[in-house]
């Protein structure tokens, strides 16, 4: 039985809360970006995303626990489970996200990410990967943090999928700091894999309505120490970041679909990659 049929009043109330949060976000964007003519200021857009994300998460009764410090510069790489991920990461700090192009057409999430200055990527076009990677250079120069989900798709969280390395090429070439992060979720009245994670052939509308029926969603984000790649290629960098994202589950006690120690592969650090503790 769907959450809508089991908890119609809860779902209806959450819908009203979401509409209210989106209305406030629209007014905020109108006065801040349009009236004050700040559409070119990236930090205004990312700060707006943070405020809007916090309101939406409160409306959905999503509470977030953070462990570790988010990066102040460079790139952030994270596993990908749900459309909630952008809001969970975005409310903590100003971030420029990279997302697959079809997300732009999704209701709610599409306009939210587009207004925040998200870079949309057509992964099937190799030239588009190069275009987006080149766009990182001026963003990093401005001091922005660029966040990518190098798995290339969302998953059910049972394991961290292998990282695609193409978007890490600028970091490897320029020696930018790259920080790992890991997201996980917990609910008491259902299945995280099927009702919070958004993957496979799931449909956005029904998934979101069912998400409204959850009593509470707890999100956990663990940040790892930044790497400063020196003299390494993007594939080696991707492999080390994957190892570190996996290891964050056990290092910080993050819950996961397969238990708190799933996907842990902690080991010795390669000599060609050093942890940057600046």
Check residue 251 and give its pLDDT: 75
Residues contacting residue 189 through CB under 8 Å, at least 6 positions apart = 214, 215
Cα 115 to its chain centre, rounded Å, is 16
Residue 51 to residues 70, 224, 243, 264, Cα–Cα distance (Å): 17, 24, 32, 33
Q: How many domains does the chain have?
A: 1
Inter-CA distances, 28 with 49, 50, 78, 145, Å: 10, 12, 28, 23
Mean pLDDT in each 10-residue stretch from start to end of the chain (278 residues)?
80 95 94 67 89 96 96 96 97 94 90 92 84 92 94 92 95 95 95 95 93 96 93 93 93 57 35 47
pLDDT value, residue 40: 57
CA 192/CA 177 separation, integer angstroms: 32
Q: What is the pLDDT of residue 268?
A: 31
Helix (H, G, I), strand (E, B) or coil at 40: coil
Total number of residues shown for the chain: 278
Torsion of CA 194, 198, 200, 203, to 10 degrees: 100
| Domain around 214 | 3-276
Which pLDDT value is given to residue 253?
A: 65
What pLDDT was estimated at residue 31?
Answer: 84
The string of DSSP letters for 220-231 reads EEEEPPEEEE-S
Per the CB < 8 A criterion, the answer to whether 91 and 57 are in contact is yes
């Amino acid at each position: 039985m769907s959450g809508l049929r089991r908890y119609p009043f809860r779902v209806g109330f959450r819908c009203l809360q979401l509409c209210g949060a989106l209305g406030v976000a629209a007014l905020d964007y109108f006065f801040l970006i349009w009236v004050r003519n700040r559409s070119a200021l990236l930090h205004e857009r990312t700060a707006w995303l943070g405020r809007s994300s916090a309101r939406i998460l409160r409306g959905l009764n999503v509470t977030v626990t953070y462990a570790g410090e988010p990066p102040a510069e460079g790139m952030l790489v994270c596993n990908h489970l749900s459309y909630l991920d952008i809001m969970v990461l975005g409310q903590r700090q100003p971030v420029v996200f990279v997302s697959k192009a079809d997300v732009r057409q999704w209701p709610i999430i599409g306009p939210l990410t587009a207004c925040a200055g998200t870079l949309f990527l057509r992964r099937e076009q190799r030239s588009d990967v190069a275009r987006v990677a080149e766009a990182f250079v001026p963003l990093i120069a401005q001091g922005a943090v660029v966040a990518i989900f190098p798995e290339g798709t969302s998953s059910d969280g049972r394991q961290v999928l292998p990282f695609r390395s193409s978007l890490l090429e600028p970091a490897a070439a320029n020696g930018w700091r790259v920080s790992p992060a890991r997201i996980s979720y917990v609910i008491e009245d259902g299945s995280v894999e099927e009702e919070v994670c958004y993957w496979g052939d799931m449909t956005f509308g029904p998934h979101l309505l069912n998400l409204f029926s959850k009593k509470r969603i707890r999100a956990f984000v663990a940040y790892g120490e930044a790497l400063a790649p020196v003299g390494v290629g993007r594939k080696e960098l991707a492999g080390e970041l994957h190892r570190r994202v996996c290891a964050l589950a056990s290092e910080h006690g993050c819950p996961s679909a397969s238990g708190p120690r799933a996907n842990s592969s902690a080991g010795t650090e390669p000599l060609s990659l050093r942890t940057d503790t600046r």
